[in-house]
Structure 1
Amino acid sequence: MKTNCFFYRKKKYSINPNGVVTSKSHSNIALIKYWGKHNNKTQIPLNSSISYSLGEVYTVTRLIYQKKKERNLPIKVFFSGKEKTSFLPKILEFFHRISSYCSYLQDFNFIIETYNTFPHSSGIASSASSMSSLALCIMEIEKKLVSSSKEDFFLKKSSFLARLGSGSACRSIYPGLVVWGCHKSIKGSNNLYAIPYPYEVHSIFTKIEDTILIIDDEPKKILSSKGHQLMNDHPFARERFKCATQNMSRLISILKIGDFQEFGELIEHEALTLHAMIMTSRPYFLCMKPNTLNVIYTVWDFRKQNKKNIYFTLDAGANVHLLYPIQEKTFILKWIYSDLFVYSKKIIESFCL
Structure 2
Amino acid sequence: MTETDFIFTQNQSILIPNGSATWKTPSNIALVKYWGKKEPQLPENTSISFTLDACFTITTLEYNLKKDKGKSDFTFEIYFEDEKKEDFKPKIQKFFERIEKYVPFLKDYNFVINSRNSFPHSSGIASSASGMSALALCIMSIEKELNPSISDEYFNKKASFLARLGSGSACRSIEGELIVWGEHKKIKESSDLFGVKFPYKLHKKFKNYHDTILLVDEVEKQVSSTIGHQLMHSHPFAKQRFLQANENISKISEALQNGDIKSFVEIVESEALTLHAMMMTSNPYFILMKPNTLKIINKIWEFRKLTNANVCFTLDAGANVHVLFPENEKEVVNKFIVNELVQFCQENHYICDRIGIGAKRLSI
TM-score interval w.r.t. the shorter chain?
over 0.9
**C-alpha displacement of 1:265:** 1.1
2:47 matched to 1:44? Answer: no
2:30 match: 30
Paired residue type of 2:277: A
- SS across alignment from 2:234: coil
Distance 2:336 2:8 in 1: 53
**C-alpha displacement of 1:58:** 0.3
TM-score (normalizing by structure 1): 0.98
Name stretches of at least 5 consecutive residues in structure 2 with no aligned partner. Answer: 357-364
TM-score (normalizing by structure 2): 0.95
* 1:46-66, Cα deviation, whole Å (9 max, x unpaired): 000000010100000000001
Distance 2:56 2:308 in 1: 32
1:216 match: 217
Paired residue type of 1:232: H
1:8 match: 7
Give the 5 Å matches for 1:249-328: 249-328=250-329
Paired residue type of 1:27: S
The correspondence for 1:347, drawn from 336, 344, 350, is 350
2:68 matched to 1:67? Answer: no
- SS across alignment from 1:278: helix
Q: Relative contact order (alpha carbons < 8 A, sep ≥ 6): 1 or 2 greater?
A: 2
**C-alpha displacement of 1:334:** 1.4
**C-alpha displacement of 1:177:** 0.3
1:21 match: 21
Distance 2:148 2:4 in 1: 20
Paired residue type of 1:349: C
**C-alpha displacement of 1:11:** 2.6
2:332 match: 331
* 1:210-267, Cα deviation, whole Å (9 max, x unpaired): 0000001111111101100000000000000010011111111111110111101110
* 1:313-334, Cα deviation, whole Å (9 max, x unpaired): 0011100000000111111111
Query: Is the Cα–Cα contact under 8 Å of residues 164 and 170 in structure 2 kept in the other structure?
Result: yes
Query: Is the Cα–Cα contact under 8 Å of residues 55 and 118 in structure 2 kept in the other structure?
Result: yes
RMSD of Structure 2 on Structure 1 (CA) = 0.8
**C-alpha displacement of 1:182:** 0.7
Paired residue type of 2:199: P
Distance 1:341 1:191 in 2: 38
2:80 match: 79
1:191 match: 192
Q: Percent identity?
A: 50
* Alignment: residue pair count: 350
Distance 1:130 1:176 in 2: 18
**C-alpha displacement of 1:200:** 2.1
More off after superposition, 84-93 vs 9-18: 9-18
Distance 1:343 1:266 in 2: 25
- SS across alignment from 1:152: helix
* 1:271-314, Cα deviation, whole Å (9 max, x unpaired): 00010001000000001000000000011011111111100000
Paired residue type of 2:229: H
Moved over 4 A (4+): none
Give the 5 Å matches for 1:138-217: 138-217=139-218
2:56 matched to 1:58? Answer: yes
Distance 1:350 1:128 in 2: 16
Distance 1:222 1:77 in 2: 23
More off after superposition, 8-17 vs 99-108: 8-17
Query: Is the Cα–Cα contact under 8 Å of residues 10 and 147 in structure 2 kept in the other structure?
Result: no
1:238 match: 239
Query: Is the Cα–Cα contact under 8 Å of residues 137 and 159 in structure 2 kept in the other structure?
Result: yes
